Amino acid sequence: MGIPTALVMRQPDLGTSLTYLPILAVGILLAGLRWSHFAVILLVGALALPAVWYVLADYQKGRLETFINPTRDPRGSGYQVIQSKIAVGDGGMWGRGVTRGTQTQLRFLPVPHTDFIFSAFAEEHGFVGVVVVLGLYFLLLMQIVQNAQAAPDRAGMYICMGVATLLLFHLLVNVGMVVGNMPVTGIPLPLMSSGGSNMFSVFMMLGLVNNVRLRRFVS
């Protein structure tokens, strides 16, 4: 797991490289790691976390500082987060309607079709639309987990749970990012953010899950 993580970090793309960690964590837990050992690993990681600050690039440190206090630079590094939160709150209960969101249509929120697509969606469809979309994501994740439970072998189970973990991590980080609860990392929202490579990768992962499902009755 360290090889692809190191290669992605050299891009440099810290946000994407971090997506390998939850997959690794779920994999070793499913492989039989004791919870006590896992707790020790988490404790050691938490203690070593302050040292990570000294190896981060300047722009990465700026993102963390902006996450802690976006109002310190409201027209610079904190601008997109502030406008994203305004867009989410502007949607209200039912939203402003498709193509009627002021934050997105008037370009207060830059490039809303990529990492901040959820902000644009929340402004146009409101709280009700957000609940529906999150519910659809929940159904997708539960279906993948069900496929893992019905997998004919451990390899199929690992594939399904790895895909579910990756999609869940992307969902939590992206949604948390647009409401200011997570730092801006550039992690796209699966099946919604614009980007051919991400969409292609997600379809490949779902294809692997479907492949496991088709072989659930093979002895």
Query: How confident is the model at residue 13, as a pLDDT?
Result: 82
* Dihedral angle of Cα 186, 188, 193, 196, to the nearest 10 degrees: 90
- Structural domain that includes position 182: 2-214
**Residue 127 burial by Cβ neighbours in a 10 Å radius (0-12, 13-18, 19+):** middle
Query: How confident is the model at residue 189, as a pLDDT?
Result: 93
Query: How confident is the model at residue 219, as a pLDDT?
Result: 57
Can you list the residues of the chain whose pLDDT is less than 50? Answer: none
Query: How confident is the model at residue 218, as a pLDDT?
Result: 66
Residue 43 lies in a domain: yes
User: Counting every residue, how long is the chain?
Assistant: 219
Residue 113 lies in a domain: yes
Q: Taking each helix axis from N to C terminus, what angle separates 154-178 and 117-149, rounded to the nearest 10 degrees?
A: 160
Residue 28 lies in a domain: yes
Query: How confident is the model at residue 122, as a pLDDT?
Result: 94
Query: How confident is the model at residue 42, as a pLDDT?
Result: 85
Residue 219 lies in a domain: no
Residue 18 lies in a domain: yes
For the chain, what is the domain count? 1
Judge contact between 127 and 91, C-beta under 8 A. yes
